[in-house]
Structures are given as structure tokens and as C-alpha cells.
Structure 1
Amino acid sequence: MTEINKLSTGDYVNSAVRAGLGVIPMLGPVATEMWNLLFTPPLEKRKIAFLEELAQRINALEESDKVDINQLVNNDTFIDILASITDQRKNLWKGHNIFTFAAY
């Protein structure tokens, strides 16, 4: 699995296009905002995919009756682990392992 924050070619292309649009006199800010509206940056897509996978895993644990989500809300250990794996410096694989370990 890839690291969430590891920059890809798509990230560089997106940044270059945004920078190029931004220098257009008078229309730059509007063009940049339109670009952002029409095209989701690759980094944002990776973050969304990670959070969706995390939600699926939490739902699967709840459906298996191994975890009660209502109890997790007040569980400091769970909150610490969740904060740790959603930290942008962590990669998806480490997050998966930490969460799976914490559920047992």
C-alpha cells in the first residue's frame, strides 16, 4: 500500500496546473477555484479512500459484535489509535495493522 502523503506525479501536475492558473491576470483566482471544484487533487482522493476504508473496517467490526461503537466513543485508547492512524505521516498499511490489533 502507498503512503497517503507520498507525492505522486498527479500531485505535481495538479500543483503545476493550479500555479499556472493562478498567474492569469484577474481571472487566476477564479480559474484556480474552478479547477479545484472540477478536479479533486490526488492527495485528497487518497485521504478520502483511506477514511472510507477505515469506516468500512469499523462497520465490519461492529457487525461482527466484537466492538460496540457507542463504547468506542468514550474509549481513550481507541481515540488515541484513531488519531494516530489518521495522522498524515502514517501509511495505510501501518494504520490497518494498528487498528486491527487494537480491535482484539
Structure 2
Amino acid sequence: MVQQVDLERMDPAAEPLEEKLHRVGRVAIGAIPVIGSLALETFNSIFEPPLSKRRTEVIRQIGEALNDLIEGGVVTEAGLQENEAFISTVAEVCNISLRNHQAEKLEALRNAAINSALPGCPSDDYRQIFLHFVDVCTVSHIRLLKFFENPKRWFVAHNRAEPYRAAVSLSQVIEHAMPDLTRNREILDTVWADLYQKGLVGIKQLEMVLSHESCFSKQTTSFGSKLIAFLSSPST
């Protein structure tokens, strides 16, 4: 029988920063005379259950995916226990997940943990840079990067027809595909500038007019493609 990960006993390899802060907060509040115990009870009732639930859910999802890999013979539990890159990634993923609630970012973190268990996972430098990106980026960063990895495939997957014009700008393409992103132009410009500065996309100006074929071609750099691969499900 193939030995699987015991999901009931899985736990992060390190105490998350948020838990350290939570513990420090409890000590500080508990030291306050008279009101300390009441304030501490309030603090615990607000923060402890949601943080524990969030971390447990992330661990459960990673564990279920790992069991699928184990059943498929891709990895073994013994191998994972000796995989330092995987252990470090899972510990960091658990930390970052406590600071984020949006589904797209949590999915990206889960995929990063799973991909770190696979043969040929990115080196330490790449993994740390990629995880930091997820921690500090917005969902719009991830959405735009995934979209421009393969715009044509995105339109097909979302059953949308490409707007046909002989010449078009990237901002017009975004407006057609994701109109919600163009409603706040300051945010869109900031996000795009950030992606460009990090070397994840190759075109600096969203308003640059390109041919139809160029605009609907891949806009991510090789570095951006590696990031997207790391944050995507291994099955895709």
C-alpha cells in the first residue's frame, strides 16, 4: 500500500510570523492590569479562529494534492520529507497565506507548494523571488500576467471572441477582456509598470499601438513565463 500524507497531522515546518505577533499581542494585552484578561479574551476570539482556519485549509489542500502525486508515483512521502526546497516552500506558503484572503492568491500559493515538490522545481533564488511576488502583488498582477502569457488561449477558454481591428493597443485588449481592470486607470498603469520593472512583461507602454497579431501574442518574458508556470497547477 502506498504511504500517503496524513492530513490530520500535517503542520507547517515553522511558526508563521502572524502567530508570533499574535503570541506577542496576547502577552502584551495580558500584562495590562484589570482590563488585560478581558482584552486578551476579545483579541483571541477575533483573530485566533480565523488564522487557524486559514492555515489549516491551506495545509489540507496541499496535502490532498500531494496524495494525488504519491498515488501517481510522481513523488514519495519519504522523498518529500528529505526535500529541503519543498519543506521551506510549504513553510513560507503557510506564512504568506495568513496575510492573504483572495482566492487567486491562495490558489497560486498552493500551486507553488505543489510545484516545489516536483522534479525540476525552480532553484532557491527563483522560488524566493516568486513567493515574494505573490506576497506583495495584487490579484490584478496575477490576472494580467496569466492573460498575457497566452491571450488567444484565454479568449478561447472564456468563450470570448477577439475584437478584430487592424491595429490595437494592449489597453484596448485588456478593456475588452477584463473591463473591470480599466475602470481605475491609476491602478492598471501602476500594476503594468510594476510588471515591466520586474522584467515580467516586455512592453512598457499599454497605449503602444500594435498589429492585431502582435497584440494578441504572448507579452510575458521568459522570466514571467517561469513565474506563471510556478504559480499554475501542474496539470495545466
- Give the TM-score taking structure 2 as reference length: 0.27
- Residue 29 of structure 1 deviates from its aligned partner by 4.2
Q: Higher Cα Rg: structure 1 or 2?
A: 2
Structure 1 gaps of 5+ residues are: 1-25
Q: Is the 8 A contact 1:85 1:95 kept in 2?
A: yes
Number of aligned positions between the proteins? 80
> Unpaired runs of 5+ in structure 2?
1-33, 120-236
Which structure carries more relative contact order (alpha carbon 8 Å, separation 6+)?
A: 1
Q: Deviations over 1:5-33 (max 9, x none)?
A: xxxxxxxxxxxxxxxxxxxxx8x948x76
The code of the aligned residue for 2:106 comes to: L
Paired residue for 2:85? 77
Q: 1:87 to 1:71 in 2, by over 3 A?
A: same
Instruction: Give 2:67's match in structure 1, choosing from 45, 59, 63.
Output: 59
The answer to whether residue 76 in structure 2 is matched with residue 68 in structure 1 is yes
TM-score by length of 1: 0.53
Structure with more helix by fraction? 1
Per-residue deviation, residues 51-85 of structure 1 (Å, max 9, x unmatched): 11111111111111100110111122112222221
State the identity %: 27
Pair 1:96 & 2:110 matched: yes
Q: Determine the C-alpha separation between the residues in 2 that align with 1:29 and 1:50.
A: 31
1:85 corresponds to which letter in structure 2?
Answer: V
**1:34-67, Cα deviation, whole Å (9 max, x unpaired):** xx69xx7223222211111111111111111100
